[in-house]
Amino acid sequence: MKRLHALQYLRAIAALLVVYSHATIQVPAWESFLPYTGAYGVDIFFVISGFIMVYITKPDDTAGRFLVQRIRRVVPLYWFFTLLMGAILFFLPSLFKTGEFSWVTLFQSLFFIPHYSLQNPDYIWPIVAPGWSLNYEMYFYVLFAASLFVAPKFRVACVISAIIVIWAVCGASGSQLAIPRFVSDPSVFEFVAGMLLAVAWKRGLELSSSAGWMLIVAGFALATFSPDHWHHWVRISLPSTLIVIGFLFIRVPVSRIGLLLGDASYALYLSHLFVLGGMRVFVPDDVPATGLYAWGFVVLSLVVCTIVGIVVHFAVDNWLLRYERIAFFRRAPQAASRS
C-alpha cells in the first residue's frame, strides 16, 4: 500500500472540484464572475475506481464476495440520500431549483437503473443528481464481478473487451433510450485507463516524484483550460488519468486531515447538493452582482459542504456500515474495502 495515501488526498480534491462546479451555478447573478470548471472531479473518481478494483482484488476472490463488498460500500449512504431527496421532492420541492417527484424514478434511482431525469430531461440522472456517477460505478462493478469467473490473468482483458464491445454496439445503434446512451458514453474508458494503470503499477512501473508533479500540473491545466469542442477523451479522460498517475508517484507525507477528507469524500460528494440547496435559500433575491459576493459564496460553500461531509461520514455513513441496518449486508466481510 506504499504511497497510496496520496490517492486519498486526490479523492478529497476530486470531491471538492465537484462541489466548486455546482457552487458556481447556484446563484444566476454570480455565474458571470465564477469560471465554471471542476466537473472532471467525477472522471478522476472513475480512473481511481478502475485502478483500485484491480489493485485490491485477489486471485481467489469470487464474484459474489466482490459484489457484496461493493454494495456494502456504496449502497447504504446512497439509499439514505436518495430516500431523503425523494422525501424533499415530495414535501418541499421548492427547496431545489427544479423539483418533481415520481415513484418510478425513485425506484430506478434506488436500483441504479439509468433513466432520463424529470428535472433535467436532457440528462440521464437519478433523483440525487451526483448519483449518475454511481450508476457507472455499479455498471463497472457488475462487469468486473463477471470477470472473476475466469482465470486472473484474463480478467482485465475481459472487462476491457466487454466495455469496448458494449460501447461500440450501443453507440452504433444510435438509440436514444437511456441505457444504450448511458453505456456508450466515452467516460466508460476512464475505468479502462485506471485498470491499465493498475496493471502497470503491479508490474513495477516507476516514476520520480518530480515527474509525478509535472503530470499533475499538466493534467489540471489540460482539464481546466481545454476548449469545450475538444473530444471528451482529450480534455477530460486524458488529464484525469495524468492526474491519477501523478498522485501515485509523488512523495508526500501522511496527513491525518488529508486521510480524513479522503475518507469523507463519498459523503461530501453525495451530501453537497443538499447543503448548497439549503444555502441558496438564504441568498436574497436582490443580492449584489459582484465578484466579491460570488467568490465569498463559493468559499463558504466549500467550507460548509466539507464540514457537513465530515459529519455525515461519521454520523451517517460509518453508522450505517457499523450497525448495518439491512440484514443482507451482515454477510459482508468485516474488513471490506472502504475504497
Among candidate residues 153, 167, 137, the one with its CA nearest the CA of residue 53: 137
Q: How many CB atoms lie within 10 A of CB 305?
A: 26
Q: Model-level pTM?
A: 0.92
CA-CA distance, 315 to 318, in Å (whole number)? 6
pLDDT in tens, the chain (339 residues): 456 899 999 999 999 999 999 999 999 999 999 999 999 999 999 999 999 999 999 999 999 999 999 999 999 999 999 999 999 888 877 666 566 788 999 999 999 999 999 888 899 999 999 999 999 999 999 999 999 999 999 999 999 999 999 999 999 999 999 999 999 999 999 999 999 999 999 999 999 999 999 999 999 999 999 999 999 999 999 999 999 999 999 999 999 999 999 999 999 999 999 999 889 989 998 889 999 999 999 999 999 999 999 999 999 998 887 754 444 445 444 433 444
Helix axes 41-56, 238-249, angle to 10 degrees: 50
> By the 8 A CB rule, do 18 and 38 touch?
yes
